[in-house]
Structure 1
Amino acid sequence: MITGKNYVGNTLKAAGNRTFKTFNPQLNTENPWVFTEASQEEIEEAVTLAHQAFGIYKNCSGLEKADFLNAIVDEILALGDDLLVQYCSESGFPMGRAEGERGRMVGQLRSFAQMLTEGSWVQAAIDTAVTDRVPAPKEDLRKMMVPLGPVVVFGSSNFPFAFSTAGGDTASALAAGCPVIVKSHSMHVGTGEMVASAVIKAAQKTNMPEGVFSNLVGGGTTLGASLVKHPLVKAVGFTGSIRAGRALFDLASQRPEPIPVFAEMGSINPVVFLPEALAVNSQKWAAAYAGSITLGAGQFCTNPGLLIGIKGAELDKFLEELGQAIEKIEPSCMLHPSMKAGFEEGTETMLSQTGVSKIAAYKGDTAPNYGVQQILTVDGKTFLENKTLSHEVFGPVSILVQCNDEEQLLKIVNQLEGQLTGTIIGEPNELKEYDKLIKAMQNKVGRLIFNGVPTGVEVCPSMIHGGPYPASSDSRFTAVGIHAVYRWVRPFSFQNWPNELLPPELQNENPLQILRTVNNIQTKSQIS
């Protein structure tokens, strides 16, 4: 049941005086539920509860936190199909997407629970004392990661499960030992409330302190700004636009005590098509990229918005086949009328630029809020001279840049801003010929793909979902996979501390049997 209220700790509250509704883009009508924006008093109470909970939660063992995360999964699954129906009614996505994304959400939570159960993620490092060292004795030093404090997580529009209420940011922060306050995304707050109810039930069943999780609702910018500026908040997780992410980053840096904002923002995910690959398999790559460009109505942060190739018969053939493939795909519903309007405005801006032409677009009729996919093209010189052409358009559109030669292609890659992904489509023997290009791409992206599509992000320890600014605000961290936990922790050292008063991770006996670095050697052995 949707109440339209805020979870302030374990309690549902609605003291605010502003209300709003979500929208069903498939039906092109408002949903019936009324949601009440969190009041300043509720914001203050949620943050205060999180701060108080931190004093207890940071000392919970890895097994206790793992039980909590696994209990969240159990409660989410217990919501059954009702949660999936709610997701579809607020996103416009089909049921298959809802099921798949729910699977990713619970998979992320399970992976962090496994990480906590094993325990080595704390990166324990021990350098034992050498009392007779000359000219000065060596002190006993022991280091591990400790949580930062309360974390604010902003739900994302395009992933109501995987990057929202109990998504990767929340799962990783809770795993780190940080209480979480979610600012639910206004497009799917009903979905967020249902997921939040599961988190609260799990917290109560596993005896977590009240305030370890809160879920607040707000339709404008006031709620988010208030949370980021609150002195008890210690870090922020965000997935969304460059404009919004940078605004939060600036707010956080202007505080008396600046805090980190881990923002995953804009990316056009450049794809370079090398000539021999197109000569061998142009039709295959045309079909693959037509599917990638239109997947989820182009509303993926890894959508391939920029295609680059060298002029010639191979590229001409590929462009023709890509256009034909694009025209055959049925458009998909976008998240919200505002998303469709932004997509259309961005596409029209691109088409209004000198030298840009439309190669192909879906020609059939579409229902309201469905994005009509398009392929645009421009020559390399024009692209280099016009920064507007390298801006992200959120939706199913890509621009193909036709370069005169390899030198111009390299200039384009070197001029790009930071990206989440870069892709090279080529034959293996071509890679050695384009060594400079590959090195240039490595400097610009967080993940470099060979002969694939960028859409589709595997949740595993080797995944990097981040990249140089503005793809993310800190390229040293990933937003996907268990290593996302390191955004919410800091290193802490104990010097000459009594063994029995140390955390178990640092005690001589190694009671948790975790992998530690002891005097520069990785081992699970005890210290004698």
Structure 2
Amino acid sequence: MTLDLKAKHLIAGEWVGSSESFESSPLDAAPRTFAAGTPELVDRAAEAAEDAFWTYAYLSREARAAFLDTIADEIEARGEAITQIGTEESGLPAGRLQGERGRTTGQLRLFAKHIREGAYLDKRHDAAMPDREPAPRPELKMIQRPVGPVAVFGASNFPLAFSTAGGDTAAALAAGCPVVVKGHEAHPGTAEIVADAIHAAIRAHDLHPGVFSLVQGGSRAVGERLVTHPLIKAVGFTGSLGAGRALFDLCAQRPEPIPFFGELGSTNPVFAMPEALKARGEALGKGWTGSLTMGAGQFCTNPGIVIAIDGPEVDGFVSAAVEAAKASDSQAMLTDGIAAAYRKGAERVSGTSGVTALTGKADDSRHASPYIFETTGEVFEKDESLGEEVFGPLGIVVRVENAEAMQRIARKLHGQLTVTLQMDEGDAEAVKPLIPILERKAGRLLANGFPTGVEVAEAMVHGGPYPATTNFGATSVGTLSIRRFLRPVCYQNLPASVLPEDLR
């Protein structure tokens, strides 16, 4: 099909250009030129979002839920176009884009269901006690209310599920917060088509057009203006540690500091326990490599480190993992910049004293081949850089002396999104001392699986201590993520006639 892209920004219901432009970097197609974002466009979008807040935040839950359902419908109606431009821009296969589109619409519908049920409001009521001695008690009612306009940064590795209408946008809109999205330069065409779907849903429900705006990629000044604009009250971000920390610091330095919910990086360690390795070490080695290389390793839950107590069973695991890695094809990465950063990361690990390269080769293009390295627990403990994320299909096997050494490494880990335990029943006693340590290190602990693949569900936690995220009490996946964009308000002795609808 022929794509008719506007190559513009969507600002409060209008497609507008700008004096600056940038080119996309598709894998196998000619670049397209798009209007680039500017701080002035951010100002317009933020002001429109604030204006929209006064009506959108006070819609009924049913009205907002219906709006979310319509966005999902409109995205599905553009499915063919989204897949076409998404594969062109990212190099991801059509099946991956179709699955991600289903996840995106699923998130929207999950939040629609969630706000219809209303439990997220966390309503509390203390009845008045006028005759209480020595002092009467007033009537107190509490409810969660939306914080205001929210800024969302599109992610490079998920053109749909963590971008324009992804989880951050869905949660904010469900909470009653208008959204301003800064699109990622890696997939501007995809962002435009999804933005058009949201725009269609806004018109279908006759909402204020400032409920959603898309400012396409631009210079660093665009992102800086977005997080420092006084009308923006919270930020959702998925990206690199360096960029995320810089934006986080800007949010904290504002005259009115605001929360920055950033997902920044994780190596997602795997603790391979002895009995599990004895029983199925070869299968675990192949499974680990499969998870490590899935999507060219471009997942925030990519399991980049394996910690195991040294012994013959580890040899079988490593041999199987290396054999599977050697059999893996080189894969396209999302952008030239990501591919270059992956090569640099592999060079850093390869040049570390005490680290042995078991397999891997440098690709001089946008493609990447898997690397597997091996080291000792002693080397890993001394060199913190080995615990830093390398975004791509790179894994390190750490052989430790005993269970105590495994626990020491667990204590030294930085914050993670996930930690995996490969264990059998006979490993339970050895695992028990690890659990209190690991639950302080990660938002999700899992057994006998691999962390790639984040279920969109009520109980999911996709977050963790810094640097996995900038807010250890939050998640960016699952219905609990709505709480990021709400704040509790207590109403004391207010008559029912003036209370929010959900408290009457």
TM-score normalised over the length of structure 2:
0.97
Aligned to 2:36: 37
Aligned to 2:207: 208
C-alpha distance in 2 between matches for 1:241 and 1:338:
12
1:473 matches 2:476:
no
- 1:501 shift after superposition: 2.1
C-alpha distance in 2 between matches for 1:64 and 1:140:
29
C-alpha distance in 1 between matches for 2:269 and 2:351:
22
C-alpha distance in 1 between matches for 2:40 and 2:409:
51
- 1:338 shift after superposition: 1.2
- 1:485 shift after superposition: 0.3
Secondary structure of the residue that 1:43 maps to in structure 2?
A: helix
1:385 matches 2:388:
no
1:298 matches 2:300:
no
CA contact (8 A) 2:339 2:365 kept: no
1:464 matches 2:464:
no
1:266 matches 2:268:
no
Q: For residues 25-77 of structure 1, what are the alpha-carbon distances to aligned partners after superposition, in whole Å with 9 as ceiling and x for unaligned?
A: 2x2x542x211112333221111100100111110110110111111011111
The 5-angstrom pairing of residues 90-105 of structure 1 reads: 90-105=89-104
1:198 matches 2:216:
no
C-alpha distance in 2 between matches for 1:362 and 1:343:
12
C-alpha distance in 1 between matches for 2:478 and 2:426:
32
The 5-angstrom pairing of residues 347-358 of structure 1 reads: 347-358=346-357
Of the three residues 18, 23, 26, the one matched with 1:24 is: 26
1:450 matches 2:447:
yes
C-alpha distance in 2 between matches for 1:123 and 1:139:
20
C-alpha distance in 2 between matches for 1:173 and 1:218:
21
C-alpha distance in 2 between matches for 1:13 and 1:409:
56
C-alpha distance in 1 between matches for 2:288 and 2:97:
23
C-alpha distance in 2 between matches for 1:20 and 1:8:
18
CA contact (8 A) 1:151 1:179 kept: yes
C-alpha distance in 2 between matches for 1:88 and 1:187:
11
Structure 1: segments with no counterpart, 5+ residues: 508-528
How many residue pairs match? The answer is 501
CA contact (8 A) 2:11 2:210 kept: yes
Of the three residues 2, 6, 9, the one matched with 2:9 is: 6
Secondary structure of the residue that 1:23 maps to in structure 2?
A: coil
Secondary structure of the residue that 1:443 maps to in structure 2?
A: coil
Secondary structure of the residue that 1:236 maps to in structure 2?
A: strand
C-alpha distance in 2 between matches for 1:237 and 1:174:
12
- 1:362 shift after superposition: 6.9
The 5-angstrom pairing of residues 109-508 of structure 1 reads: 109-361=108-360, 368-507=365-504
Secondary structure of the residue that 1:269 maps to in structure 2?
A: coil
Aligned to 1:51: 50
CA contact (8 A) 1:343 1:393 kept: yes
C-alpha distance in 2 between matches for 1:18 and 1:218:
10
- 1:268 shift after superposition: 0.2
C-alpha distance in 2 between matches for 1:444 and 1:218:
34
Structure 2: segments with no counterpart, 5+ residues: none
CA contact (8 A) 1:323 1:361 kept: no
AA partner of residue 454 (structure 1): P
Which range moved further: 409-418 or 101-110?
409-418
C-alpha distance in 2 between matches for 1:426 and 1:272:
8
Q: For residues 434-475 of structure 1, what are the alpha-carbon distances to aligned partners after superposition, in whole Å with 9 as ceiling and x for unaligned?
A: 322222111111100111101010000100000001101111
- 1:325 shift after superposition: 1.3
The 5-angstrom pairing of residues 51-70 of structure 1 reads: 51-70=50-69
C-alpha distance in 2 between matches for 1:290 and 1:206:
47
AA partner of residue 6 (structure 2): T
- 1:78 shift after superposition: 1.1
C-alpha distance in 1 between matches for 2:24 and 2:228:
27
Secondary structure of the residue that 1:162 maps to in structure 2?
A: coil
C-alpha distance in 2 between matches for 1:85 and 1:131:
66
Which range moved further: 387-396 or 331-340?
331-340
Secondary structure of the residue that 1:211 maps to in structure 2?
A: helix
Q: State the identity %.
A: 42
Q: For residues 88-132 of structure 1, what are the alpha-carbon distances to aligned partners after superposition, in whole Å with 9 as ceiling and x for unaligned?
A: 111110000001000000000000111122222111111111111
- 1:500 shift after superposition: 2.4
CA contact (8 A) 1:329 1:362 kept: no
C-alpha distance in 1 between matches for 2:353 and 2:15:
54
Q: For residues 218-264 of structure 1, what are the alpha-carbon distances to aligned partners after superposition, in whole Å with 9 as ceiling and x for unaligned?
A: 23211100111111110000001111111111001111000000001
C-alpha distance in 1 between matches for 2:488 and 2:471:
18
CA contact (8 A) 2:145 2:487 kept: yes
C-alpha distance in 1 between matches for 2:454 and 2:361:
27
Secondary structure of the residue that 2:439 maps to in structure 1?
A: helix
AA partner of residue 391 (structure 1): E
